[in-house]
Amino acid sequence: MGDSMKITEDLAQTKEVVRAQFQVPDNLGFVFREFQVRFQDGWADALLCYFDGMSDVNVINRDILRSLLTGTVAESGSREDAVFEKITALGPLSRLYTFEEAFELVSFGNCIFFVDGCSCVFAADVKNWRGRSVGPPTQEASLSGPQEAFNEIIMTNMALVRKILKTPDLIGEHIPVGSVSKTPCALMYLKNVTNPELVDEVRRRLKGIDTSYIFSTGDVEMMIEDNTYFPMTHTLKTERPDRAAAMLAEGKVVVIVQGSPFALVLPSTAADLIEASEDNYVRVPEANFMRLVRLLGMALSLLLPGLFVALMLYHHEVIPTDLLLAIEASREKVPFPLVAELLLMELSFELIKEASVRVPSPVGSTLGIIGGLILGQAAVEANIVSPILIIIVSITGLGTFATPSAAFSRSLSLSRFFFILFGALAGILGIVCALFLTGAALCASETFSVPFLSPIAPKNGDSVWGSLLVKPIWKKELRPRSLRTQEPRRQPHISRTWKKEE
């Protein structure tokens, strides 16, 4: 007997369907409660079902069961209408007519109950998921900005965004993903701002996910991104509601998935990935200085090891003589070739980084000290690596940690080995070839029909420097042209009206 069949008035048949679907009584936590409802013409059998721990038991006992067990249900019309009118005043109540809809709701934390003689099921929204409260951000910490981060409850996350924007134009569409899990997914956008074609495309990809289970934002990201195997991430994941709200105001789309404390921002460009939350909460000179330091760190993270290998193997004349002699003297007793030595140190650094993430927080700092100081010093004294290489890898690691996006940081770490290989093969020429190939691939890549390097390549009329540096908020008059928003202008040309009065 399939769960998509229609519900009949025969409660005995309904009980058999429910027992078979939820393996009653072996299914721990599933409440299968039988009782009777009193009508004017007599008593009728009824069945109440919910999952303990997902539904609010107090609301069920106080509002639903007490109302049905005490008093008489007045039958002014049909029995179905009479039950609905008696309960609907106590909370959100709906009527469903197929078992598939009923089972989907009860698996999501709702309470359902059947009454003999009614060809429908009554579903009450009494969800009571136990989850952590709203806490401070961990990966995108900010000294000056709000200290709120998303949690794993989708309705809480949507409320955090709505609390910031506070406009009826903010739409949150419910799109379940996963044919079995039916994971709730919210597609959020500003109705009169966001390009309708972008919304349609994101909606089409979300509805086009044909898999049994979806557990997190990462699953959705891999299902809807343009190129899964491209080493550089093209999607921004944020844990900050204020950043998600700012992206929505730009005309972008935000996707929130139940069970994940991160929101997807679509489409995302390179300018979005190098932006830190702190940039919006400090004065412009400070923000631009931090942005330049950040860009320098990312460049060092990507290029420094490859440049060091290229110079040491092919271009000795570029290095000052005294420095070259000092480097060669420090490497005199090292038994490994330079490339093998560098790869060994890079892999050790990645191993320490992964281990510090996996161990408990109180041990993480201790692990960093052991890995960075004691292990590095021991490796130098044992003549396994040279001191200069410890410096190179340390500077590279600092540049990696200066990257504001964790996904972008991992992309830089992966691409770094590509530049080391080309530098070892052809020196500076190899580094230039690697830069050319990487730049060409990035210029050719798109995310939801928006060029990834926009407005740098191709130029579309927006300021290139405006995408690399931070502008004062009163100069952010227009939204990005690449998004083709319905309302291109964010604010008037003169937003500081007190200047006009002066």
The DSSP annotation for 247-314 comes to HHHHT-EEEEETT-S-EEEES--HHHHT--GGGGSS-HHHHHHHHHHHHHHHHHHHHHHHHHHHHHHH
Residue 401 to residue 356: CA distance in whole angstroms:
13
Which band of pLDDT confidence, cut at 50, 70 and 90, is reported for residue 344? Answer: confident
Confirm whether 458 is domain-assigned.
no
294/334 same-domain check = yes
323/229 same-domain check = no
- Name every residue whose Cβ is closer than 8 Å to that of residue 353 and which is 6 or more positions away in sequence: 397
345/403 same-domain check = yes
Q: 171, 217, 216: which is closest to 192 by C-alpha? A: 171
Strands, sheet with 111-115, edge to edge from the N-terminal-most edge strand: 30-39, 42-51, 111-115, 121-124, 93-96
Residue 305 to residue 346: CA distance in whole angstroms:
9
Tokens of 424: 């070892």
Q: Rounded mean pLDDT of 307-314?
A: 92
95 vs 73, more confident: 95
Burial of 140 (0-12, 13-18, 19+ CB in 10 A): buried
Residues 206, 210, 216, 217, CA torsion sign: negative
When divided into structural domains, the chain yields a total of: 3
Confirm whether 88 is domain-assigned.
yes
260-277 confidence digits (pLDDT tens): 999 999 999 888 888 888
Residue with tokens 């049994």: 212
Q: Can you give the pTM of this predicted structure?
A: 0.84
pLDDT value, residue 60: 87
301/206 same-domain check = no
- Name every residue whose Cβ is closer than 8 Å to that of residue 65 and which is 6 or more positions away in sequence: 35, 48
Confirm whether 29 is domain-assigned.
yes
Tokens of 386: 């040279």
413/341 same-domain check = yes
Which band of pLDDT confidence, cut at 50, 70 and 90, is reported for residue 328? Answer: confident
Confirm whether 143 is domain-assigned.
no
- Name every residue whose Cβ is closer than 8 Å to that of residue 320 and which is 6 or more positions away in sequence: none
- Count of CA atoms in the C-beta half-sphere (13 A) of 342: 22
User: Is the pLDDT score of 73 beyond 50?
Assistant: yes
438/328 same-domain check = yes
Give the lowest-confidence range in 119-123, 238-242, 308-312, 364-368.
364-368
User: Is the pLDDT score of 3 beyond 60?
Assistant: no
Residue with tokens 């039950």: 83
Range(s) of the domain holding residue 222: 154-268
Q: For 98, which DSSP code?
A: B
252/312 same-domain check = no
Q: Rounded mean pLDDT of 62-89?
A: 77
SS3 176: coil
Q: Rounded mean pLDDT of 190-196?
A: 93
286/258 same-domain check = no
Cα-Cα end-to-end distance for the chain: 78
Confirm whether 484 is domain-assigned.
no
CB contact at 8 A, 489 and 248: no
Give the lowest-confidence range in 24-33, 100-109, 348-357.
348-357
